[in-house]
Amino acid sequence: MKKLIFTGLTAAVLLSSCSSQKSETAGTEQTVEMTEAQEEAQAFLDQYSQTYQQLYTKSAEAEWTSNTKIVEGDTTNAAATRRANEAFAAFSGSAENIEMARNMLDKKDQLTPLQVKQFDAILYAGANNPQIIPDVVKARIKAETEQTEKLYGFDYRIYEKSVSTNDIDNILKSETDIRKRLDAWNASKEVGPNLKEGLLDLRQLRNKTVQSLGYDDYFTYQASDYGMTRGEMMNLMQQINQELRPLYSELHTYARYELAKKYGVKEVPDYLPAHWVPNRWGQDWSAMVNVEGIDLDAALHPKGAEWQVKQAERFYTSMGFPELPQTFYTKSSLYPLPADANYKKNNHASAWHMNLQDDVRCLMSVEPNAEWYETTHHELGHIYYYMTYTNPDVPVLLRGGANRAYHEAVGSLLGLAAMQKPFLAELNLIDKNTKTDDVQTLLKEALSYVVFIPFSSGVMSEWEHDFYAKDLPADQLNKRWWELTKKYQGIVPPSNRGENYLDAATKTHINDDAAQYYDYAMSYVILFQLHDHIAKNILKQDPHATNYYGSKEVGSFLRDIMYPGASADWRQMLKEKTGEELSARAMVDYFQPLMDYLQEQNKGRKYTL
């Protein structure tokens, strides 16, 4: 999965100080007279936003450098990042700004809804960096910077040879020798022990920062960004998981028997050994299936990595979005480092809104293959989301998605659309007359999208919930991780994994994007709701075989969702655009045709979930 790095408080363009402002309806030019209270509020918001944007930009630039040039033993970047983040934290968490926001919200009935949203955003940001405990905030920034360097600067090795995470991923996707698979899987987990002390320190510091402004713990704080309590969020995760559990049980049974056959193992295990599945965390098994007639790796390889990025841009422009700014290409880090590079970079794909205005970048390591083809479309979804809500109607402090999951939903939606057969034929990546097995195509998609739900809504969400909200003991971290992995994913470790390991910490988000992984589960639900609506009501096409390419109407639909940023109510927007509340209904319906096939394949097989 791809997650936005450095979202902080997703913010916006500056509003000029004046005695009138644009109406609440995005896209209109109507102005309304302000009351005295609104003028006072706007004057503060204008001043705050200007300083916020400047400090945010400096912090983003420092973070970018720390993530794109990691030199072992060199602390220069870490020190610069720490200083920039401390300045940003000192401002956003200042007691004066927090107090002012509270005072303004005491009379929120006199303010405009847009102003109230901005003051709420100021308080939310302040709780992450409260300067009533400045030493704790500084210590947390230092700890987070050091943890990032340990994570992304780690030297992965197989048979004493340095390898990249791309190398490990490729082995797990294609290798049939069980021993080689195990060696690669073990290598992927070696970074964990180095991160344990730092993660325990970060738990204490993250909880302390938000507790100073009344939150129970860091998980509760992050969930509150959705207007939900911790309990409400976990109940929603259980609901999503349960709605997709019958299909996941079929996929799990199918995978156990098919992989046993593939690896020449006669006795089918009750639970999947972790090194059997084609992903380091078991969150995506789609590499198990190759759809006959569709060989994207072969089609993409001669085109090269740059073509993939440019083609993803063409996808968006075909729907009416503007071209990317030239600075996207000159400032982004899009491709793997040369083999002889004397430094490393963050290997996790991400999209960045550097100055909350016109500087947008991607950090990727694009290679000419199907996975990176989908990833480039996904990441540019984030980029175009940034560009679309960078408009005069959206103030600095509301330049983000309608909620965090919306950003991921848009990225994943366009990633899904870019992989469907009619779209691939449009690009001549497959012959339009190629006969393909629709059931196998759907199976491949389910092994990506459905398989991800128990990992995101179950394993990750519950582990981080227990870690932050229940103060999970330090001598039970790995035990709890594998309990949840077995319960939700039906996956077990190849051998005993004691507390000398910390396999949870090998997942990057646990370290640098903490207590938010439910964003992804929600994003999948939202993406299928959006896709279902686009296919049936705009394109009038089968949701399993769409082609968004060149559809200005689809572009307009997406732009209407993206344009208001965080100034829109996310629940109201979803209901207005799709006609229904948040629900896994569309996702379950999409994969329903697969159930009959799987039940037929699994006849006589033992179910263990």
pLDDT in tens, 251-280: 999 999 999 999 999 999 999 999 999 999
The pLDDT score that the predictor gives to residue 73 is 84
pLDDT in tens, 315-348: 999 999 999 999 999 999 999 999 899 999 988 8
The pLDDT score that the predictor gives to residue 1 is 45
* C-alpha–C-alpha distance, residues 227 and 524, integer Å: 19
| 292/198 same-domain check | no
Asked if the structure places residue 474 within a domain, the reply is: yes
205 is in which domain, residue-wise? 21-154+191-224
| 374/310 same-domain check | yes
Asked if the structure places residue 137 within a domain, the reply is: yes
Q: Is 403 helix (H, G, I), strand (E, B) or coil?
A: coil
With 50 as the cut, is the pLDDT of residue 15 above it? no
Percent of the chain with pLDDT over 70: 95
List the alpha helices (DSSP H) in 190-303. 192-211, 218-223, 230-262, 296-300
| 218/304 same-domain check | no
| 447/526 same-domain check | yes
Q: Confidence band (pLDDT; 50, 70, 90) for 11?
A: very low
Mean pLDDT value across the chain = 92
Residue 163 gets which letter from DSSP?
E
pLDDT in tens, 355-399: 999 999 999 999 999 989 999 999 999 999 999 999 999 999 999
Which is nearest to 523 in space by CA: 158, 134, 4?
A: 4
Cβ atoms < 10 Å from Cβ of 24: 14
pLDDT in tens, 581-595: 999 999 999 999 999
With 70 as the cut, is the pLDDT of residue 30 above it? no
The pLDDT score that the predictor gives to residue 19 is 29
| 195/282 same-domain check | no
250: tokens are 């079929």
The pLDDT score that the predictor gives to residue 292 is 85
Q: Confidence band (pLDDT; 50, 70, 90) for 7?
A: very low
With 70 as the cut, is the pLDDT of residue 5 above it? no
The pLDDT score that the predictor gives to residue 578 is 95
392: tokens are 């005069």
Model pTM score: 0.88
Q: Confidence band (pLDDT; 50, 70, 90) for 31?
A: low
Measured N-to-C along each axis, helices 165-174 and 178-189 cross at an angle, to the nearest 10 degrees, of: 150
With 70 as the cut, is the pLDDT of residue 8 above it? no
Write the DSSP assignment of 13-51 as a string of letters: BPPPP-SEEE-SSTT---EEEPPHHHHHHHHHHHHHHHH
| 143/290 same-domain check | no
| 530/407 same-domain check | yes
Asked if the structure places residue 2 within a domain, the reply is: no
Asked if the structure places residue 259 within a domain, the reply is: no
| 371/494 same-domain check | yes
Cβ atoms < 10 Å from Cβ of 99: 11
* C-alpha–C-alpha distance, residues 286 and 293, integer Å: 16
Residue 337 gets which letter from DSSP?
P
pLDDT in tens, 177-203: 999 999 999 999 999 999 999 999 999
Asked if the structure places residue 239 within a domain, the reply is: no
Asked if the structure places residue 197 within a domain, the reply is: yes
| 363/473 same-domain check | yes
With 70 as the cut, is the pLDDT of residue 127 above it? yes
| 210/293 same-domain check | no
With 90 as the cut, is the pLDDT of residue 434 above it? no
| 220/318 same-domain check | no
Cβ-Cβ contacts under 8 Å for 309 (sequence gap 6 or more):
334, 366, 376, 380
Asked if the structure places residue 255 within a domain, the reply is: no
How many structural domains comprise the chain?
Answer: 2
Asked if the structure places residue 574 within a domain, the reply is: yes
Max intra-chain CA distance, the chain:
78
pLDDT in tens, 43-92: 999 999 999 999 999 999 999 999 999 888 888 888 999 999 999 999 99
CATH number at residue 289: 1.10.1370.30
| 343/443 same-domain check | yes
With 60 as the cut, is the pLDDT of residue 6 above it? no
* C-alpha–C-alpha distance, residues 171 and 107, integer Å: 59
50: tokens are 């200007």
Q: How far is CA 510 from CA 146, 219, 356, 486, 495, in A?
A: 14, 12, 25, 19, 23
- Residue 273 host element (H or E): strand 272-273
